[in-house]
Amino acid sequence: MTALLANSRKVQFSGKHKDVVANAHFRLIILLLVFLGAFTVIAGRLASFAILEDAQPSRTTSAVLVPARGDIVDRNGVALARTIRGYAIRVIPARLLGDKATLSRQLAAIFPDTSEADFLATLTSERPTYLRRRAMPDEVKQVHALGEIGIEFPREDERLYPQRDLAAHILGFVNADGEGVMGMERALNESLTQKSLRATPATLSIDSRVQAALESELNSAMISTEARGAAGIILDVKTGEVMALASLPVFDPNKLRKDTIRFQTNEVTQSVFELGSTFKPFTIAAALDAGTVTDLAVRYNAMEPIKVAGFTIKDDHSQGRYLNVPETLVHSSNIVTARIADNLGKERMEDMIRRLGFDERPHIELAERGHPIWPKRWGRVTNMTIAYGHGIAVTPLHLASAYAALVNGGIWRPATLLKVAPGEEAQGRRVFKAATSARMRQLLRMIVSSGTGRKADAPGFRIGGKTGSAEKPSNGGYNKTSLVSTFAAAFPMDNPHYVIITMLDEPQGTAETSFQRTAGWTAAPIVHKVVSRVGPMLGVVPDEHRDVDVSELTPLLWSPKG
């Protein structure tokens, strides 16, 4: 009985048990579906973050590897512009706890260049404002020590020019939104900000050591001659690479101020000048090329000024005699140059000037390029004045590119601020015959060794060049006392590698220049100093036993006996 009872109970139990287990399995599947649903929601949310909100690795983290804006370096990899994580100081007035007057007094003590009243106005305004867009860690520390929770210190990308004002006109600067607004920052804006390109720095053609030497020599000359400004450029004649380009006074792209805005004009590429006698070698070269001058010994009348159509052309330092071609350049005779240009004819003269690129903006990456002032009518008189550099205004960069063509064998190339790999220089176009170029090297060297450019000579560097002292136009005429003194040179003259242009805007005669304002006394000595400093950096070894052979031309220079 008991056994039967036990047995029946067991059967009953097991039946119930089966029921319970089956129900449990059904509920388990429901629970599993609930979990599946919940995890689908989680995965869906993650996917929506990835797709709909377009989650990207944040800028701050990618800056560790790739800067927000690419670096700019010089040809040797020296950093000229970098992007760093800087501090800004920002105030959220609604969150300020302390007394605003006290706070503005404390801030004014930390930043003496802003008044207490200005700070108070900022602190009492409604909206969050920047107190400083860029702040030094030290300043941040001091402000932080004020203990105000309404002031925060966001880290922001900051464009830093570690060489300060060096090459400021080449580099330019960026605006608050990080867009390049001047110089190479503007010209290269696209590639500097493009994600795929900005990891590798943009390499400029300039050499920061050469740039520094050029800037320092121009600056000391500008100060000693009390000039309004100065400009200079050093150009590789074979590739068109700009090794240095300086426009003075300078500004600091790290700290743009109202009072330095006018210095932001790039005098080398933006401002146009009548460059005067530096044009004479072009006229002579064109005449040699065209065959209108075949014999350098032929003499031209320089006894008295030429009068053409009511216009008088005269020499500043009249020799009062007939001059041959070498003497014309050595003594910088306007009269003879005008006669040679007249013989050449205006078509051929204009053709040469156009082929040298003087009729368009200079060729360089920068956006700041000035348009030359081209004569309205190219008549006979214009032709004769342009021969000695009046009646046409071009930028110093135009002149540098043209001088490169003059001495490098006759090939004109556009200038570039980007480093050119060997063998990849621009095609260029022939302007002068190679023979003419060789002759011009001798003539330019003679101007420095025994002419108006003597003060440019640096022993062993075989410098050749031409002075140019142009009177500045004013009130419809020319002002005799305000000059633009230019010296256009190349070195080493036996195998020219670099062209160097130095220019002073309105130099004053001082004791140092024997009270002379002309280029031979003001601009030429800068070339001497700069070349002595930068020659070895540029791979030009001073050698007093080498020079271009001018022995066939030396006898043509007449010198008084005694």
Active site residue ranges: 277
Handedness of CA 426, 429, 430, 431 (dihedral sign): negative
- How many CB atoms are closer than 10 A to CB 559? 6
Round to the nearest angstrom and report the end-to-end CA distance of the chain.
Answer: 161
Indicate the residue among 29 and 101 with the shorter CB distance to another protein: 29
46 contributes a contact to another protein by CB under 8 A: yes
Of the listed pieces 16-24, 100-108, 378-386, 533-541, which binds another protein according to CB under 8 A? 16-24
Who's near 49: CB < 8 A, 6+ residues apart? 55
Q: Which is nearer to another protein, 58 or 427 (CB)?
A: 58
Question: Rounded to the nearest 10 degrees, what angle do helices 519-534 and 208-224 cross at?
Answer: 150
- Strand partners of residue 83: 159
27 lines the binding site for another protein (CB under 8 A): yes
**57 counts as binding another protein under rule CB under 8 A:** yes
- Tokens 């370096």 belong to 73
Residue 449 Cα distances to 344, 493, 559, angstroms: 28, 11, 14
* 253 and 161 Cβ atoms separated by less than 8 Å: yes
Q: Taking CB under 8 A as the criterion, which residues in 416-455 touch another protein?
A: none
Which residue from 9, 16, 133, 321 is in contact with another protein, where contact means CB under 8 A?
16
CB 33 → another protein: shortest distance, Å? 10
5 contributes a contact to another protein by CB under 8 A: no
Residues 303/320, Cβ–Cβ less than 8 Å: yes
By CB under 8 A, tell whether 25 contacts another protein: yes
Q: In the complex, what is the shortest distance from the CB of residue 43 to another protein, in angstroms, rounded to a whole number?
A: 5
Contact (CB, 8 A) for 249 and 229: yes
Q: From the CB of 53, what's the least distance to another protein, in Å?
A: 6
Give the one residue of 6, 10, 11, 50 binding another protein; rule: CB under 8 A. Answer: 50
416 DSSP 8-state letter: B
**Residue 199 in the binding site for another protein (CB under 8 A):** no
By CB under 8 A, tell whether 58 contacts another protein: yes
Question: Taking the complex as a whole, how short is the minimal distance between the CB of residue 15 and another protein, in angstroms?
Answer: 12
Site for another protein in 63-82 (CB under 8 A): 64
Nearer to another protein, 25 or 376 (CB): 25
β strands within 498-559, DSSP E: 498-505
Give the one residue of 9, 10, 17, 105 binding another protein; rule: CB under 8 A.
Answer: 17
Question: Interface with another protein includes 43 (CB under 8 A)?
Answer: yes
Task: Give the angle 249-361-354 at the CA atoms, nearest 5°.
Answer: 125
What is the closest distance, in whole angstroms, from the C-beta atom of residue 89 to another protein in the complex?
18
For residues 105 and 95, give the distance between their C-alpha atoms in angstroms, rounded to a whole number.
Answer: 18
3-state SS class at 472: strand
CB nearer to another protein: give 38 or 537.
38
Of the candidates 251, 239, 250, 266, the residue with the CA atom closest to the CA atom of residue 183: 266
Strand, helix or coil for residue 182: coil
> Residue ranges of the alpha helices (H) in 172-303?
183-187, 189-193, 208-224, 280-290
Using CB under 8 A as the binding rule, whether residue 32 contacts another protein is answered as: yes
When the beta carbons of 37 and 77 are compared against another protein, the nearer one is 37
94 or 511: CB nearest another protein: 94
Among 30, 97, 176, 309, which residue interacts with another protein (rule: CB under 8 A)? 30
Q: Do 203 and 287 meet the contact criterion of CB atoms below 8 Å apart?
A: no
Q: Vertex 227, ends 222 and 228: CA angle to 5°?
A: 110
Q: How far is the CB of 3 from another protein (least distance, A)?
A: 20
Query: What's the closest the beta carbon of residue 65 comes to another protein, in angstroms?
Result: 8
Window 272 to 301, contacts with another protein (CB under 8 A): none
Whichever of 17 and 141 has its CB closer to another protein, that residue is 17
Residue 35 in the binding site for another protein (CB under 8 A): yes
C-alpha dist (Å) from residue 299 to 261, 550, 558: 51, 19, 12
Minimum CB separation of residue 38 from another protein in Å reads 5
Q: Does 21 bind another protein (CB under 8 A)?
A: yes
62 near another protein, rule: CB under 8 A: yes
Q: Confirm or reject binding of residue 97 to another protein (CB under 8 A).
A: no
Residue 492 preceded by cis peptide, ω within 30:
yes
**Closest separation between CB of residue 44 and another protein, Å?**
10
Angle, vertex CA 422, rays to CA 535 and CA 426, nearest 5: 100
Does 149 help bind another protein (rule: CB under 8 A)? no
Residues that bind another protein (CB under 8 A): 13, 16-17, 20-21, 23-25, 27-32, 35-36, 38-39, 41-43, 45-47, 49-50, 53, 55-58, 60-62, 64
